[in-house]
Structure 1
Amino acid sequence: MIPTLVVALLAATSCSGGGSSSGPKAPAAVFPATVTHEYGQTVVEEAPERVVSLGYTDQDAILALGTVPVAIREFTGNRPSATWPWAADKLKGEQPQVLPAGDVTPDAVAALEPDLIVAITADLTREQYDAFSKIAPTVAAPAGTTDGRVSWADATKLTGAALGLPAAADRIVSDVEEKFVEVEENHPELAGATVAMAVPNPADPASVKAWSSNDLRGQFLKELGVQVPAQVDRLAGNGSFATMPSDQLPTLDDADALMVAGTPAEQAAFAALPGYGQLKLVQESKVVTLDDEQSAALAFGSVLSLPAVADEVAGRLARAVGR
């Protein structure tokens, strides 16, 4: 369930599908709006009425700002309207079309007759951006983005700019940041703790992927006052994760706790790896296994998903760390 604080702030900033305010305290949308991103600037002349969420997780920021997209791209979980419970109530009963996780052609998007395409987390090439921008104003990732890693705060602010609601976006970001501070203060055991977060490697069942500080999951841990083990970051280099064969599993014992994501089947495969049962963290019950929604929430790394699970995940990690 989304925390009360987040529900309140979203209600205060909710608006119509075109981005106009619906309450006396909601800031009015301002157009034309100019958005700066990695491929230059996009000008949105007037309040959009048909927004396509082309990025894999862009729908959450769009929904947080009160707009229901006409189409949402699938990312994970095959949920109705490609929307998880933390954002479902923001659909306002509407059922956006679901775009595939694979290739989405310009023709498919053009058929939706959009007047704004939000592609912040779509990891577009310049060629793709040019093709989509011929259909409607298109917003790509922030300049300097690496491997599609866009922070929840940057994604929210960029979306707010495109919807003519930069002040509303800033307020949402500020309130969620305050939420993370509150969670961190409620769990002082986590201060300076190290947590390794891993999932089975789909490309090699005999290994695991341990997420680095560069990944959105690692950034979420930082919001809680937690650090990724230095050895994981060294193995990952500039990448989002380190690939560890089963004989490297003891490296995970450098952490104060282990967090395991993925589906129940994936977690069972992880636990079946040679050496897993011999890990000190396993023997001392310092392993936190995330459920489907928590795993997806951290993978989304969005303005709606992270606050929805922060309290529960932080509490479980604090108990596992046991300081």
Structure 2
Amino acid sequence: MGLTRRQMLLTTLAAAGGAVLAGCGGGGRSEAGAGAAAGSAGFPVTIEGKLGAATIPQAPQRVVSVGYTDHDAILALGVAPVAARYWYGDEKVVVQPWARAAAQAVGAAPAVLNMSSVEPEKIAAQRPDLVIGLYSDLDAQSYPVVSAVAPTVGPPRGFDDYGAPWQEYTRETGRALGKEAEAEKLVADLEARFVAARDADPQWKGRSVVVASRSADKISVFSSQDPRSRFFTQLGFTVPPRIDQLAAGRFYTEFSFEQASELDHDLIVWDQLSFTPGGKATVVGDPLLSRLPAMRDGRTVFLEGATELAFAWQTVLSLPSVLDAVVPQLQRAIPKT
């Protein structure tokens, strides 16, 4: 059975997320929030997306984020969204710990939009003059309805669903807010960190990686077009072509436990361990997985707790902490020779 993005990507982290990552919540403001996009330079601007074009006539004052993680880039660019979409964890919280400082800097206290799918009525109630839904489930049915409420920047063209890199989401958000230069600086600064890590450990270049998750009855592996896999390709690793062939345009593919050998590559990254009954211990003790050479040799990375949560978001604000946590694990798994 296929999974929705909400199901596949950590909806069951509510228990872990509530305890580990209590963040900022709160109601939306009745007027434009502090840090609204300022000035008229660069407007009007038209942004072409997968579902249609959004023309933004002037600097937006009431920005609503309907992408699961889009408010991170909005906050990083110094704009306070009046509302943001809930993804997982505490249902009163949409600002995660890595975004707190950025939110506090602009006095952001976005209203929480708790929607299992896009609900235009809830969006319209926030009286937006711009809706950003880059990393969202907007589709051919919902996009025209939401666009009638306010200019709506939907999923970008040229990528699988939810598959655009964080750079694209950051830049598109910058264009929509009239902050292209600021977005480019954010991208350049974070890209420099990836380059520095990659250059410091050249032995990773060209090594194969699978980013996997073990549930109670199957194993899921992310395609190369998913942001989670992109994290490792930015560090020099490659995703085996067979994974993409099996994913067939989706952001993941699935294997039975009997197909565990499909995971045997240079590096296995175990993600979403809060999905796995028993967590890391279950993966390590699995009789089929434990036979894999990569598992026996310790060529593994386990993403748990706060790192797992930050890794799920894959934003310009969450990734610095992920690099801090993951690079040392990579250095142990595939050290210099």
How many Å apart are 1:316 and its aligned residue? 0.9
Aligned to 1:141: 155
Aligned to 1:109: 123
Deviates most, 231-240 or 210-219: 231-240
Amino acid at match of 2:309: A
How many Å apart are 1:291 and its aligned residue? 1.8
**Structure 1 gaps, min length 5:** 1-14, 22-27
Aligned to 2:291: 278
Aligned to 1:216: 227
Aligned to 2:113: 99
> 2:184 aligned to 170, 180, 186, which one?
170
Q: Secondary structure at the match of 2:55?
A: strand
Superposition pairs of residues 198-217 of structure 1, within 5 angstroms: 198-201=212-215, 205-217=216-228
Deviates most, 35-44 or 152-161: 35-44
Aligned to 1:54: 66
TM-score (norm: length of structure 1) = 0.84
Aligned to 1:291: 304
Aligned to 1:191: 205
Aligned to 2:137: 123
Q: How many residues align?
A: 299
TM-score (norm: length of structure 2) = 0.81
Report the Cα distance in structure 1 between the residues aligned to 2:60 and 2:131, rounded to whole angstroms.
Answer: 10
Whether the aligned pair in 1 keeps the contact of 2:118 and 2:137 (CA below 8 Å) is no
How many Å apart are 1:70 and its aligned residue? 1.3
Whether the aligned pair in 1 keeps the contact of 2:210 and 2:240 (CA below 8 Å) is yes
Q: Does 1:322 align with 2:324?
A: no
Q: Secondary structure at the match of 2:93?
A: helix
Report the Cα distance in structure 2 between the residues aligned to 1:320 and 1:244, rounded to whole angstroms.
Answer: 24
Whether the aligned pair in 2 keeps the contact of 1:195 and 1:226 (CA below 8 Å) is yes
Aligned to 1:76: 88
How many Å apart are 1:246 and its aligned residue? 0.8
Whether the aligned pair in 1 keeps the contact of 2:310 and 2:322 (CA below 8 Å) is yes
> 2:35 aligned to 13, 17, 24, which one?
17
Report the Cα distance in structure 1 between the residues aligned to 2:97 and 2:41, rounded to whole angstroms.
Answer: 27
Percentage identity across paired residues of the two chains: 35
**Structure 2 gaps, min length 5:** 1-32
Q: Does 1:238 align with 2:249?
A: yes
Report the Cα distance in structure 2 between the residues aligned to 1:117 and 1:197, rounded to whole angstroms.
Answer: 32
Deviates most, 90-99 or 128-137: 90-99
Q: 1:218 to 1:232 in 2, by over 3 A?
A: same
Deviates most, 142-151 or 103-112: 142-151
Whether the aligned pair in 1 keeps the contact of 2:210 and 2:267 (CA below 8 Å) is yes
Q: Does 1:258 align with 2:268?
A: yes
How many Å apart are 1:80 and its aligned residue? 5.6
